[in-house]
Structure 1
Amino acid sequence: MKSLKKKRRIQIIVAASVALFLAVALIGYGFRDGINLYRSPSQMAENPPASGEVFRLGGLVEDGSLIRGVGETVSFRVTDGGATIPVQFTGVLPDLFGEGQGMIATGQMQGQIFVAREVLAKHDENYMPREVIDSLKAQGVYEDPNS
C-alpha cells in the first residue's frame, strides 16, 4: 500500500514539473519578440545595442532635423540633451509628430542610423511618455510645464 502511494506522489511531482517547464517555455516563446527595452540617446552612446537588437528609442525630435524624403521616408534626429541619434522611418507619422516634440520609436540600429518600424508621438500637447521625461530630467533638459 505504501509503495502505491509513493509511486502516485512521484508521478504527480513529475507531471507537475513537466507542466511547469512547458508553461515557462511557452511564456518565453511568446515574449521572444515582445519585450523591447527602452533606451535614451545618452544610454545608447554609453552602451551601444547589440547587432540586430530591437528596442525602443525615445527623446525629443531635434529642431531643424526633420527631413521628408521621397515617398513616405522621413529622417530626423532624436535627442535627450546629452546625445543625438539619427533616425529613419518609412511610413505615415502620427499627426502630432513634430520638431521639439516627445516621441518613442521601435526599431533597430543599422550602422549609425536607428531604423524605426513604428513611431509614436505624444497624444496631446500636455502628455509626454514617462520614459522620455525621466531621460530628459536625467540630462537636465526637461522643464515641467505644470510648475
Structure 2
Amino acid sequence: MVSAAAGASFVALLGFAGGLGVGSALAALLIVLDIIPRLAQLTFAYRKSIWFETAVVSGAVFWSIADFLEWRLWLPKIAAMLVIGTFDGIFVGMLGAALTEVMNVLPILAKRVRLSRYLVSLVYAMVLGKVTGSLFDWLVFQYMDP
C-alpha cells in the first residue's frame, strides 16, 4: 500500500513533468515555425515584436492560472457558442497549418541529427505514443476517482 504522501508526491512530479513537456513543446513549436518573426513580418511591425512575445507569454500564464484556479466565465449560451466556436475554429486552422509545416521539419531534423534511417520508426513512435496516451486518457484516466 502506498502512503498518501508518496501518492501526492508522485502526482506532483507527474504534473510537473507534464507541464515541462507541454511547455517545451510549445516553445519548440514557436521557435521551429518562427511564428513571432513571421507575425512581425506580416504586420510590418518588426520593432514591436516584443509585444507579440509578451502577448504569447502573458496568454499562456493567464490561461494557466485561470485553469488552475478554475475561473468560470458565464455567458448566454448563444454568445458562448459563437465566441468559443470562433476561437476553436481559429485554433484548429492554425494548428493544422503549423502541423503541416512541422511535418516538413522532421526529415531535416533527422538528417542533421543523423537519424535518417530511423525516420519511419521515429514517426511510428510519435503516433503510437499519441494513440496510447489518448486511449489511456479516454479509457482509464477519466474514470479514476479525484
- Same fold, TM-score > 0.5, yes or no: no
TM-score by length of 2: 0.24
- The structure richer in helix per residue is 2
TM-score (normalised: structure 1): 0.24
Q: Which has the higher strand share?
A: 1
Determine which structure has more spread, i.e. the larger CA radius of gyration: 1
